[in-house]
Amino acid sequence: MSQDKTAEITVTQALNRALDDAMAADSTVLVLGEDVADAQGGGVVKITKGLSTKYGTDRVKSTPISEQAIIGAAVGAAMAGMRPVAEIMLMNFTAVCADQIFNHAAKTRFMTGGQTQVPIVIRTLGGAGRGTGGQHGDLLEAWYAHAAGLKVVAPANPADAYGLMTSCIFENDPCIFIEHIGVLGAKGPAPQAGHRVPLGRGAVSQEGRDVTVISYARQANEALIAARKLAEEGVSVEVIDLRSIAPLDWDTVLSSVAKTRRAVIVHEAVKPHGVGAEISARINEELFGQLKAPVQRLGAPYSPIPFSKPLETAFIPAAPQIEAAIRKVLG
């Protein structure tokens, strides 16, 4: 990976740089969403800060609070040859424009027999832990991964955030880009301009022999914390950061589990019917006879995100729970 080792930046800064570099490189790249222009603050968490000043408010448009109109405008402009990056402030609010995402963005290439395409990025924030209760922190990646035609990504560090955003913008398929609130402040080496992370390619963020932990977004970072702790006891944990949820890097997942013969899957979205169920099923389909222990899945309990702090903390699968799950598969 091409990285400038001298500089560390946050995920927020990486995303801002990726948008900036893409807009500089290609005049068809557009940004739209609530409050995205500088006069309105440059986005709810400042990811679009500076872009309207640099590229003008024709290309960086603050919109009314109209999610259907935002995604519809992005879909139409994309079909007309542009590369819009639409911000839906919070992933919960993507439910408001679900028709545009599921029935139009996802299916248009197929339903037009390949005559048209919808190269849009839908940037959206999710993640619990900010005391926002049940309607501001959901992670709905399973909904979107289940809709044929969408690509879904969720980075955990600045280099991947930059590289995935750049790839999504120049990708010709519609992408759901999950910005997890719990990783926006994460620091890491700044990638070089134009760095891309291929969609559908996971990363082995730590190599190991005894067990594979498969995750993404905040829990990919939590898995690394758990792995380092267990390393002190001589347990060798392989950590896979999927980065892309759809398409999913089955080669990396299956070859790792074939090697370690034990798997733990962890995500923050509620466990039932989550992405972990798909991964577990596929591991069992392909590697059943080779597994030394049943696959373990970790996810949030089957509940809306609670407000009260102890409940909210308990809702989020973190390093201690991942450590316990690893110990369980080790027997």
Q: What residues act catalytically?
A: 67, 136
Does 307 interact with another protein (rule: CB under 8 A)? no
Q: At its nearest, how many Å lie between another protein and the CB of residue 142?
A: 18
Q: How far is the CB of 121 from another protein (least distance, A)?
A: 14
Question: Which span sits near another protein by CB under 8 A: 56-64, 218-226, 252-260, 308-316?
Answer: 56-64
Q: Which of 64, 234, 289, 331 binds another protein (CB under 8 A)?
A: 64
Of 70 and 269, the one with the shorter C-beta distance to another protein is 70
Shortest spacing between CB 256 and another protein, in angstroms = 20
Q: Is 289 in the site for another protein (CB under 8 A)?
A: no
Q: 185 or 247: whose CB is closer to another protein?
A: 247
Taking CB under 8 A as the criterion, which residues in 26-55 touch another protein?
30
Stretch that binds another protein, among 35-43, 97-105, 183-191, 300-308 (CB under 8 A): 97-105
Indicate which single residue of 6, 114, 288, 331 sits in contact with another protein (rule: CB under 8 A).
114
First to last CA, the chain: 36
Q: Which of 40, 117, 132, 206 binds another protein (CB under 8 A)?
A: 117
Measured CA to CA, the distance from residue 45 to residue 108 in angstroms comes to 31
The rounded distance, in Å, linking the Cα atoms of 123 and 166 is 12
Among 17, 49, 61, 136, which residue sits at the site for another protein (rule: CB under 8 A)?
61
Closer residue to another protein, CB minimum distance, 59 or 195: 59
CA distances from 121 to 22, 168, 170 (A): 12, 6, 9
Q: How many C-beta atoms surround the C-beta of residue 275 within 10 A?
A: 27
Q: Which two tokens stand for residue 213?
A: 């932990």
The correct pick among 10, 13, 92, 108 for binding another protein (CB under 8 A) is 108
Pairing of strands 3-10, 187-191: antiparallel
Nearer to another protein, 41 or 72 (CB): 72
Neighbouring residues of 164: CB distance < 8 A, sequence distance ≥ 6? 153, 155, 177, 197, 199, 243, 244
Listed in sequence order, the residues at least 6 apart from 175 whose beta carbon sits closer than 8 Å to its beta carbon are 120, 121, 122, 150, 151, 152, 153, 168, 199
Q: What angle do CA 91, 94, 97 make, to 5 degrees?
A: 175
3-state helix, strand, coil in the chain (%, to 5): 40, 20, 35
Here the tokens at position 125 are 């924030």
Name residue, tokens 């893409």. 22
CB of 77 to another protein, least distance (A): 4
Binding site for another protein (CB under 8 A): 30, 58-59, 61, 63-64, 66-82, 84, 99-100, 103-104, 108-117, 148-149, 151, 171-173, 247
